[in-house]
Amino acid sequence: MSDIKELLIDQTIALIKESDGQPESITARAIAQRSGVALGLINYHFGSKDNLLAECSNKIINDLLSGMKPDLVKAKDDGLSDCERLTVYAKQTFEYLFANRAIVKISILSDFRSYGSDSNSALTQKGFQIALRGDIPDKSKRLIAFCLASSMQAAFLAADESKKITGYDLNTKKGRSSFIEDTVNMLMGEIV
């Protein structure tokens, strides 16, 4: 990666963190000024300010998600069923989404535009698969993880209308908890 591209990413991440969760308020001019480069270099390296913000939010989330990885040595003897373990992982992830709404929204929408095996969405699914250690076929593990992550993303994006759409008020911790418990139970009961 070029030094200028790295500088733009670093300074944009700093601006995102300073924006109180409002990265949409960051202008290309502010990024260029903070980085000490010409405004046109943002488009040259990233195609647009939105692409730069998406790359930066994905990097922020990827760094945070890597810190959420379960300790697999301890997790082997956690005494939880696959359903209980997946519920714990999913609740932790869902709370993270809602605590970081603006950045996560950019990341999810970016993943939808360019979905790959290294996207945050795919990495979240892989994390959910780790929770499933029982005698479940790999194909079913992948499907459960995909369905859970996808339903969480859709519910997150529709959170303000969630009570009407899903019957759960996802703007409350209790509503989010119930949504995860019921979704995991439904997925595990129907597929396994």
DSSP code string of 25-60: G--HHHHHHHHTS-THHHHHHHSSHHHHHHHHHHHH
Write down the pLDDT at residue 145: 95
Q: Hey, what amino acid is at 113?
A: R
Flag whether the pTM goes above 0.85.
Answer: no
Find tokens 């303000």 and name the residue. 160
Best CATH choice for the domain 3-55 from the list 3.40.50, 3.30.70, 1.10.10, 3.10.20:
1.10.10
The ranges assigned to domains in the chain are 3-55, 68-191
Rg (CA), the chain: 19
Task: Give the HSE-up count for residue 169: Cα atoms under 13 Å, Cβ half-sphere.
Answer: 4
> pLDDT confidence of 96, banded at 50, 70, 90?
confident
Q: Pick from 21-35, 113-127, 151-165 the range whose average pLDDT is largest.
A: 151-165
Write down the pLDDT at residue 183: 96
> Can you tell me the distance from the alpha carbon of 36 to that of 68, in angstroms, rounded to the nearest whole number?
34
Position 73 pLDDT exceeds 50: no
Residue 74 parent element (H or E) = helix 72-75
Q: Average pLDDT for residues 58-82, to the nearest whole number?
A: 65
By three-state DSSP, how is residue 79 classified? Answer: coil
- Cβ contact 157:108 at 8 Å: yes
Task: Give the HSE-up count for residue 171: Cα atoms under 13 Å, Cβ half-sphere.
Answer: 7
Please, what's the b/e burial string for 100-109 (b: 16 or more CB within 10 A of its CB; e: otherwise)?
A: bebbbbbbbe
